[in-house]
Structure 1
């Protein structure tokens, strides 16, 4: 009786968690793909970067499918084996991330629930324990209904339905936006540290060396001041290679890495983010891979918006000024071009290119290039009011 209860609980816990994890990542497959690229770089397999999003979508669908099949009890032995293989693999990845600090967030639950590497590893250890139990008693997993045709049809339906979701979010932006640049966000406010907020707290580490005994010792600045017998002893000397160590994390703004500059290096972040009027921001973090047809259409949109409503339009990219200049001439761009790091640009909008409509620093609208409204629609809804 206890074994049956624990088995059912394990199925419920693991199944729901896998479905939740898969759907959260499927909500933002491009973001999950970016995370996979970090792992590819760590393990020196960057040739997979080009198919990272495809792998991300496959893993999302697989997680949801295995979770649903486990809850329904279909093909219990194979599903338990598949779950065990996946959790062993991800436990290894999170362990490497935690120990070697190579990837700061595993992306297990996307940007909805950010976890530290050690939190991710602990979560995987708990899952591993439950899945090992499921694998051990996999023979006792009973299907909800025994018809093989019904099981196959259910599996196909779940696969197709799950596949449609990440394909949609990849082409039309996440359904739920957990990033700091979501619609309604006050970007200048997200970048500021409020008055009175606790800053990061650090301690200074001294590397001490005893000239007489050759002994070496590391001490914090506070401990050093208390150790009268050391700083009064002329044989002890403080090395030049002191280091600063973070002891307590202070307040961190949601947007902390966005710096926008022009080709000469002048900072335009404040001017662009705090523009009190409507302005369009086209984000094309990589001009080499951006959709050029979309860029042409956005260029025409920018021209109309400027001529008829004096709307300022800028293009943000992480490419070099030289490459951007060549691209601008090739595409006959009307927009101003500014430069920022690729990481915040990827967070701004999950598209290359994508568009943000800002007013007084607030994100009024946000679109994938597949879904940018026409000039007439934008005029009627925003510009002409």
Structure 2
């Protein structure tokens, strides 16, 4: 093979790696930047694992930066701008991600890496495999980085293009943090029927588990583990020479259908269940989701409350609900202080995080369907809500 032929093959391979890696980084960064708050929740899981909980408060900001950095690196790779710096950045980033996904998979500490957000859930081992492929492609780019040529001529033009790309990359995450994701991949998105997402559909099977018993022979001291089928088939409960030690272990045998909303339980201060009463209400429910009252935006709560008061004057069938994971005494104190019109109910923090990426955020429900959803920054006035939704039922 001649030197020219060798260089041609190298250029083709390098070109493929450059385009594929660049596009994948842009896609991955954009998917996470679409919902950096959700990615921030995932980062908090990693902070817990590595005992870095001091960073929990800054998780969303860190998520915005990481997402923007991914988009920027991918775009600059395609443009060929600052090739040496970009190649180093890609290599260091993929080495970090590869370590993280391997650690998550091997030690089973984080069940989903969040590489593509909620749009494409990947298991830790799938994420690790993806990162190994990317690592191979980036190594080819890294060792051939001197052959990368910019499609933008002139150092000044390259600098301007980099600045514009960086602003756009970070701006996407900043916008979605303050105005909700462009595309909602969560089960509480507008158009979804919530009651139907809380049950196993007909014809679907859930996860299949088996119980593992640790058995000990009273005479010999021998121990063995048997599953529930063997335990029943061999009638071990009738054999007085064997006894069960400790609690049985539950082991996943076959992965089944995942119910989109498996964990929503809405209660009052006394613990009474009001989930279906609120979720399946045939009339309009304006649900104010303030997951943590200690950090919620008080001015936004006041604004939403004023709109709710006006709406109830014009529409008698509207029910106003405040849903929080905070303590009942804190919720009642805030309600009394601000003279809130909302009925107060309680739910676990995890489903509230999925309902709306804002604190507070607002959902408008009717007959179990999500018909409206807002961040407090773009919550409309009472007249807009009435004209667009409530007036249709008058």
Under a length normalisation based on structure 2, what TM-score does the superposition of the two structures give? 0.92
Distance in 1, Cα, partners of 2:218 & 2:321: 61
1:275 aligned residue = 281
Cα drift, residue 220 of structure 1? 2.3
SS state at 1:370 partner: helix
Q: Write out aligned runs for 1:122-201 (5 A).
A: 122-201=129-208
Q: Write out aligned runs for 1:68-107 (5 A).
A: 68-107=75-114
Distance in 2, Cα, partners of 1:276 & 1:246: 38
**1:56 maps to 2:63:** yes
Cα drift, residue 251 of structure 1? 2.3
Cα drift, residue 207 of structure 1? 1.7
1:348 aligned residue = 355
Cα drift, residue 100 of structure 1? 2.0
CA distance 1:199–1:163, shift in 2 (3 Å): closer
Q: Write out aligned runs for 1:212-361 (5 A).
A: 213-223=220-230, 237-310=243-316, 311-361=318-368
Distance in 1, Cα, partners of 2:278 & 2:240: 57
2:33 aligned residue = 26
Cα drift, residue 212 of structure 1? 5.3
Cα drift, residue 236 of structure 1? 5.1
2:377 aligned residue = 370
Identify unmatched segments of 5+ residues in structure 1.
Answer: none
Cα drift, residue 215 of structure 1? 3.6
Identify unmatched segments of 5+ residues in structure 2.
Answer: 1-7
Distance in 1, Cα, partners of 2:25 & 2:241: 60
Cα drift, residue 210 of structure 1? 4.0
CA-based RMSD of the aligned residues comes to: 1.9
Distance in 2, Cα, partners of 1:326 & 1:208: 53
Distance in 1, Cα, partners of 2:337 & 2:286: 21
Cα drift, residue 99 of structure 1? 1.8
Cα drift, residue 232 of structure 1? 9.8
Distance in 2, Cα, partners of 1:188 & 1:309: 24
Distance in 2, Cα, partners of 1:107 & 1:124: 13
SS state at 2:380 partner: coil
Cα drift, residue 238 of structure 1? 4.2
Distance in 2, Cα, partners of 1:225 & 1:306: 60
**1:380 maps to 2:371:** no
